[in-house]
Chains A and B, each alone.
Chain A
Amino acid sequence: MVRLKNRYVLCAVRGGDSALRALSPTAVYNTVSHALLVQHGMYGQARCLIGMTVSYVNMKTGVVIVRVRKDSLPLLSSALPFVSDVGFPPNRVQCNLHTLHVGEERQRVREAITSTCFPVDLDKDVDADLDMDAD
């Protein structure tokens, strides 16, 4: 039985209110995908996009959770610091993605959010739980 292992990367968007307004699952997905293309080329982008989704986006606090395969975690974690803007042109906004936590399960990441980062109720806030699979 082959078991697929995932990793959940908890990030925070730093860039002011304009950056938070430009946040959306699609915008974050495209931004991360572009950063992977620049840093690791077509091979790295294709390898990382398999099984990569933006699990959670919060426009109020700027919290983003990206799910990726365990094997692709080094590629993603090395490309996230090079994200410099988010959003679709002409509404691109300059911002940075700060990696706060990497967890094996989504529950662990939620615990990290509630205990250390932000005292928010993840069930009540805007939860963009959309699957952005490429296929």
Chain B
Amino acid sequence: MSSGKKTTLSYEKITYRNAKKYFYLRVCLEFQEPTVLNAVEMHCLVTKALKELHGDTGTALLCDLIHFDSSSRTGILRVYCSGLVRLWSALTMLSSFRGHPCAVRIMQVSPFLLSLSGDSRSWTPPEPTASESQN
């Protein structure tokens, strides 16, 4: 006669709200005229956008420029999850920088940096090789 205790498996659901500390934004700058921009000027642009829309409290927001490509004028910004809406709205409302009309396009937003490495809109499947096509 077996006297082993029966262990019942229990199901537990745990939900974390706003668990991620940072959010990452992939942004792209568009100018009417061809303009060369470096990383420092890009950071100044972000600070100016926050200052215009949200004032001194907006400039106090901790925002980092992780990566910036001068040729394509695209960069990756990192911000605390509590400041995401402020930063996103400030970048969207920016219309000029140093007298040049410009626009900031928010391409991707994700709490994971790895997900910014690619997306289905820009990814193209590789062409199948001849051996693969025969098989």
Residues in chain A within 8 A of chain B (CB atoms)? 36-44, 78
Interface residue ranges of B17-72 to A (CB < 8 Å): 50-58
Q: Is the CB of A43 within 8 A of B56?
A: no
Query: Which residue of B is nearest A42, CB measured?
Result: B53
A42 partner residues in chain B, CB cutoff 8 A: 52-53
On whether the beta carbons of B57 and A43 are closer than 8 Å, the reply is: no
Q: Are B52 and A40 in contact (CB under 8 A)?
A: no
Q: Is B110 an interface residue (CB 8 A)?
A: no
* B108 on interface, CB distance cutoff 8 Å: no
A sample of 29 inter-chain contacts (CB < 8 A) reads A36-B55, A37-B55, A38-B55, A38-B56, A39-B55, A39-B56, A39-B57, A40-B54, A40-B55, A40-B56, A40-B57, A40-B58, A41-B50, A41-B51, A41-B52, A41-B53, A41-B54, A41-B55, A41-B57, A41-B58, A42-B52, A42-B53, A43-B53, A43-B54, A43-B89, A44-B54, A44-B55, A44-B57, A78-B57
Residues of A contacting B53 in the complex (Cβ-Cβ under 8 angstroms): 41-43
Q: How far is the CB of A63 from chain B (nearest CB, A)?
A: 28
The smallest beta-carbon distance between B86 and chain A, in angstroms, is 9
Q: 6 more A-B contacts (CB under 8 A) besides A36-B55, A40-B54? A: A37-B55, A40-B56, A41-B50, A42-B53, A43-B54, A44-B57
Q: Which residues of B contact A39 (CB under 8 A)?
A: 55-57
Give the nearest-CB partner of B51 in chain A.
A41
Chain B residues in 8 Å Cβ range of A41: 50-55, 57-58
Instruction: Please name all residues of chain B whose beta carbon is closer than 8 Å to the beta carbon of A43 when the two chains form the complex.
Output: 53-54, 89
Give Cα A36–Cα B55 distance, bound, in whole angstroms. Answer: 8
Q: Can you name the residue of chain B whose Cβ is closest to the Cβ of A75? A: B57
- Closest Cβ neighbor of A37 among chain B residues: B55
Give complex CA distance A38, B55 in Å.
Answer: 5
CA distance A8 to B92 in the complex (A): 34
Determine the residue in chain B with the shortest Cβ distance to A44. Answer: B55
For B58, list chain A residues within 8 Å (CB): 40-41
